[in-house]
Amino acid sequence: MLVEADRAGFNKGRNLEKIGAHAADLAELFFADVHVPATNLVSEEGGGFGMLMDRLVQERLGQAIRSTSVCEAAIDWTIKYTSERKAFGQTIGDFQNTQFVLAQLHTETTAARIFTDWAIRRFMDGRLSPVDAAKVKLFTSTLQGKVVDSCLQFFGGYGYMREYPIARAFVDSRLVRIGGGAVEVLKQIIGRDLFKAAK
């Protein structure tokens, strides 16, 4: 049901201090003897959970899109930084290790982009299943953590400073393996589907 913010009995608590995702406020909501008219129902009574479950596919796809985009951005920032930053008489980008690590991350991110675009097309056609949505979120959110952690390393001490986008992306990336379905939940959904036909 829809509850207006000025309705008697509704109160919003203080903004909670999160380690990341500072652009999105998070607060506790309190409902004390709130009276809401039947006209405020947005579905049939008891249908709220079903509505949420229907939107999980879209939410998980949205997270996959964000994760893939963050991976692409982090690699771009790192290429630019390592192309300019010098150490031991050459740029950090000249080192074989830098090129090898970024080549691997870029390849995996390209795979994530292809998988994500495939999922977008299936969603637009109404054919993206909950299991496939779980797969694309699992893959991309796990990759996001790997990419931003690996890229931050090339920034050295600068990468630990919040003024750099890579530092903020690093902190924010931790949430994506929790929100919209923790990776353990996603693995369970996928695993159950794998063994469904065997039973």
| Closest by CA position to 102, among listed 136, 64, 76 | 76
DSSP secondary structure of 118-172: HHHHHHHTT---HHHHHHHHHHHHHHHHHHHHHHHHHHGGGGGSTTSHHHHHHHH
Rounded CA-CA distance 74/154 in Å is 11
DSSP secondary structure of 87-107: ETTEEGGGSHHHHHHHHHHHH
- Contacting residues for 28 by C-beta, under 8 A, at least 6 apart: 12, 13, 14, 16
Q: Is 44 a catalytic residue?
A: no
Q: Which is catalytic among the residues 4, 44, 59, 72?
A: 59
Active site residues: 59
